[in-house]
């Protein structure tokens, strides 16, 4: 490889501003799709989710990058995407309004031992899916649950009713 060819690898083949605009536009487009169109899963990543991410990455690559050819172009594009990701994490940590926009709110699934079927349907969860998650937390009867929520990250949290139906049953020491 000649010095000239090596230099060409690190020069821009398109405007860094164009790369910044392309990366920003596609980041926000994909973010909005994943936040508002696609549903949460029950705390896990399925093979179909991974496949979807790979296909979206491949499909959006050309829209983001156009016809870039150099390392410098790729570095600007990756830096733009990582920068937006960091900026959103920072803003969500600092500002409640941003956090509420970025993260879906918790969704009640069980209230005082009663399954909320409408909310299960909203998240495409069956009663069998819910019961499987409850069993993972040591609960085999819905009547033993005071509240269960699907959290913004897709995990299901459970607050048990104690023997008298008053308050939560603690299975672990509270955080000190």
- Position 176 in a domain: no
Q: What is the value of pTM for the model shown?
A: 0.61
Q: Are residues 8 and 85 in the same domain?
A: yes
Say yes or no to pLDDT of 138 above 70: yes
- Position 172 in a domain: no
Per-residue confidence at 52, pLDDT binned at 50, 70, 90? low
Which of 56, 86, 102 delimits the end of a domain?
A: 102
Per-residue confidence at 170, pLDDT binned at 50, 70, 90? very low
Q: Are residues 91 and 16 in the same domain?
A: yes
Q: What is the mean pLDDT of residues 28-36?
A: 80
Q: What is the mean pLDDT of residues 7-23?
A: 85
Which of 102, 125, 148 delimits the end of a domain?
A: 102
- Position 173 in a domain: no
Q: Are residues 113 and 134 in the same domain?
A: yes
Per-residue confidence at 172, pLDDT binned at 50, 70, 90? very low
CB 121 within 8 A of CB 128: no
Per-residue confidence at 86, pLDDT binned at 50, 70, 90? confident
* Closest by CA position to 126, among listed 109, 143, 101: 109
Number of compact structural domains in the chain: 2
Sign of CA dihedral 106, 107, 112, 115: negative
Q: Are residues 89 and 119 in the same domain?
A: no
Say yes or no to pLDDT of 84 above 60: yes
Say yes or no to pLDDT of 160 above 90: yes
Q: Are residues 64 and 135 in the same domain?
A: no
Give me the pLDDT at residue 159, please. 95
- Position 174 in a domain: no
Name the least confident of 14-28, 67-81, 87-101, 133-147.
67-81
Orientation angle between helical segments 71-94 and 16-32, nearest 10 degrees: 50
Q: Which domain holds residue 33?
A: 3-102
CB 146 within 8 A of CB 168: yes
Residues 6+ apart with CB under 8 A from 119: 107, 108, 109, 150
- Residue entry with tokens 């060409």: 8
Q: Are residues 36 and 14 in the same domain?
A: yes
Q: Are residues 97 and 112 in the same domain?
A: no
Say yes or no to pLDDT of 166 above 70: no
């Amino acid at each position: 490889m000649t010095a000239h060819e090596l230099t060409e690898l690190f020069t821009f083949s398109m405007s860094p501003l164009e790369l910044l605009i392309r990366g920003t536009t596609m980041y926000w487009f994909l973010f909005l799709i994943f936040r508002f169109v696609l549903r949460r899963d029950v705390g896990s990543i399925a093979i179909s989710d991974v496949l979807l991410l790979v296909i979206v990455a491949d499909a959006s690559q050309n829209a983001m990058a156009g016809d870039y050819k150099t390392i410098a172009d790729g570095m600007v594009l990756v830096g733009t995407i990582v920068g937006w990701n960091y900026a959103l994490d920072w803003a969500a940590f600092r500002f409640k309004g941003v956090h509420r926009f970025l993260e879906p709110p918790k969704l009640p699934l069980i209230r005082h031992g009663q399954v909320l079927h409408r909310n299960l349907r909203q998240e495409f969860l069956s009663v069998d899916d819910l019961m499987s998650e409850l069993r993972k937390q040591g609960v085999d009867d819905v009547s033993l649950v005071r509240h269960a929520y699907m959290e913004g990250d897709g995990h299901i949290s459970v607050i048990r009713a104690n023997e008298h139906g008053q308050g939560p049953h603690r299975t672990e020491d509270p955080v000190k």
